[in-house]
Amino acid sequence: DAKTTQPPSMDCAEGRAANLPCNHSTISGNEYVYWYRQIHSQGPQYIIHGLKNNETNEMASLIITEDRKSSTLILPHATLRDTAVYYCIVRVRSYGQNFVFGPGTRLSVLP
Protein backbone atom coordinates (compact mmCIF):
# COMPACT_ATOMS: atom_id res chain seq x y z
CA ASP A 1 0.00 0.00 0.00
CA ALA A 2 1.06 3.56 -0.69
CA LYS A 3 2.51 5.29 2.36
CA THR A 4 1.48 8.76 1.30
CA THR A 5 -1.65 10.90 1.32
CA GLN A 6 -2.29 13.53 -1.34
CA PRO A 7 -5.33 15.65 -2.20
CA PRO A 8 -7.13 14.09 -5.16
CA SER A 9 -7.18 17.28 -7.20
CA MET A 10 -5.96 20.88 -7.29
CA ASP A 11 -6.27 23.87 -9.58
CA CYS A 12 -3.62 26.46 -10.26
CA ALA A 13 -3.64 29.61 -12.40
CA GLU A 14 -1.16 29.68 -15.25
CA GLY A 15 2.00 31.58 -14.29
CA ARG A 16 1.43 31.13 -10.57
CA ALA A 17 3.27 28.74 -8.29
CA ALA A 18 1.69 25.33 -7.84
CA ASN A 19 2.21 23.90 -4.35
CA LEU A 20 1.38 20.22 -4.11
CA PRO A 21 1.28 18.78 -0.57
CA CYS A 22 2.03 15.24 0.51
CA ASN A 23 1.67 13.63 3.92
CA HIS A 24 3.95 10.74 4.83
CA SER A 25 3.65 10.55 8.60
CA THR A 26 4.98 6.98 8.84
CA ILE A 27 8.13 7.61 6.81
CA SER A 28 11.21 5.75 8.03
CA GLY A 29 14.59 7.30 8.55
CA ASN A 30 16.06 5.68 5.43
CA GLU A 31 13.14 6.42 3.11
CA TYR A 32 13.35 9.11 0.48
CA VAL A 33 10.51 11.19 -0.93
CA TYR A 34 10.16 10.92 -4.72
CA TRP A 35 7.88 12.88 -7.01
CA TYR A 36 6.72 11.77 -10.44
CA ARG A 37 4.09 13.13 -12.76
CA GLN A 38 2.04 11.56 -15.50
CA ILE A 39 0.71 13.65 -18.30
CA HIS A 40 -2.33 12.14 -19.94
CA SER A 41 -1.58 8.90 -21.81
CA GLN A 42 2.17 9.12 -21.22
CA GLY A 43 4.56 7.22 -18.96
CA PRO A 44 5.37 8.74 -15.56
CA GLN A 45 8.12 11.33 -15.57
CA TYR A 46 10.62 11.64 -12.73
CA ILE A 47 10.65 15.11 -11.19
CA ILE A 48 12.75 15.21 -8.03
CA HIS A 49 13.56 13.37 -4.83
CA GLY A 50 15.01 14.15 -1.40
CA LEU A 51 15.76 12.78 2.04
CA LYS A 52 15.56 15.66 4.48
CA ASN A 53 17.09 18.72 2.89
CA ASN A 54 15.18 20.87 0.48
CA GLU A 55 16.00 20.15 -3.13
CA THR A 56 15.72 22.14 -6.34
CA ASN A 57 16.26 21.27 -9.96
CA GLU A 58 15.24 22.71 -13.30
CA MET A 59 11.72 21.37 -12.98
CA ALA A 60 10.70 21.95 -9.37
CA SER A 61 11.57 22.46 -5.72
CA LEU A 62 10.94 19.97 -2.95
CA ILE A 63 10.38 21.22 0.57
CA ILE A 64 10.49 18.58 3.32
CA THR A 65 9.41 19.48 6.85
CA GLU A 66 11.92 19.11 9.63
CA ASP A 67 10.09 16.11 11.10
CA ARG A 68 9.88 14.64 7.56
CA LYS A 69 6.21 13.82 7.99
CA SER A 70 5.15 15.94 5.06
CA SER A 71 6.53 17.63 1.98
CA THR A 72 5.53 20.07 -0.73
CA LEU A 73 6.39 20.01 -4.41
CA ILE A 74 6.59 23.48 -5.87
CA LEU A 75 6.30 24.27 -9.56
CA PRO A 76 7.38 27.94 -9.49
CA HIS A 77 5.60 29.16 -12.63
CA ALA A 78 2.99 26.64 -13.71
CA THR A 79 2.15 26.36 -17.40
CA LEU A 80 -0.68 24.56 -19.15
CA ARG A 81 1.75 21.75 -19.95
CA ASP A 82 2.13 21.07 -16.23
CA THR A 83 -1.43 19.73 -16.13
CA ALA A 84 -0.91 16.14 -14.98
CA VAL A 85 -1.31 13.66 -12.15
CA TYR A 86 1.45 14.13 -9.59
CA TYR A 87 2.58 11.18 -7.49
CA CYS A 88 4.39 11.44 -4.17
CA ILE A 89 6.16 8.21 -3.24
CA VAL A 90 8.30 7.25 -0.27
CA ARG A 91 10.85 4.55 -0.83
CA VAL A 92 14.10 3.28 0.49
CA ARG A 93 16.76 4.45 -1.94
CA SER A 94 17.97 1.00 -2.76
CA TYR A 95 18.72 -0.33 -6.20
CA GLY A 96 15.92 -2.60 -7.32
CA GLN A 97 13.22 -1.40 -4.97
CA ASN A 98 10.01 -0.85 -6.89
CA PHE A 99 7.90 2.27 -6.59
CA VAL A 100 4.43 1.96 -5.07
CA PHE A 101 2.14 4.46 -6.74
CA GLY A 102 -0.88 5.88 -4.94
CA PRO A 103 -3.74 7.73 -6.65
CA GLY A 104 -1.78 11.01 -6.78
CA THR A 105 -3.03 14.58 -7.20
CA ARG A 106 -4.59 15.67 -10.45
CA LEU A 107 -3.28 19.20 -11.06
CA SER A 108 -5.18 21.35 -13.51
CA VAL A 109 -3.41 24.51 -14.65
CA LEU A 110 -6.01 26.99 -15.78
CA PRO A 111 -5.48 29.80 -18.31
Partner 1 sequence: SAVISQKPSRDICQRGTSLTIQCQVDSQVTMMFWYRQQPGQSLTLIATANQGSEATYESGFVIDKFPISRPNLTFSTLTVSNMSPEDSSIYLCSVEEGGTTDTQYFGPGTRLTVL
Task: Verify binding: residue 86, partner 1, rule CB under 8 A.
Answer: no
**Residue 17 or 100 with smaller CB distance to partner 1:** 100
d(CA 97, CA 67): 24
φ, ψ of residue 82 in degrees (nearest 5): -85, -5
CB 22 within 8 A of CB 73: yes
CA–CA distance, 105 with 55 (Å, rounded to integer): 20
Site string (25-54) toward partner 1, x via CB under 8 A = ---------x------xxxxxx--x-----
Asked if residue 106 binds partner 1 (CB under 8 A), the reply is no
Distance of closest approach, residue 87 Cβ to partner 1, in angstroms? 7
CB 27 within 8 A of CB 51: no
Q: Which is nearer to partner 1, 10 or 101 (CB)?
A: 101
Query: Which residue's CB is nearer to partner 1, number 2 or number 74?
Result: 2
Residue 71 has phi, psi (to 5 degrees) of: -150, 165
- Footprint of partner 1 (CB under 8 A): 34, 41-46, 49, 87, 93-104
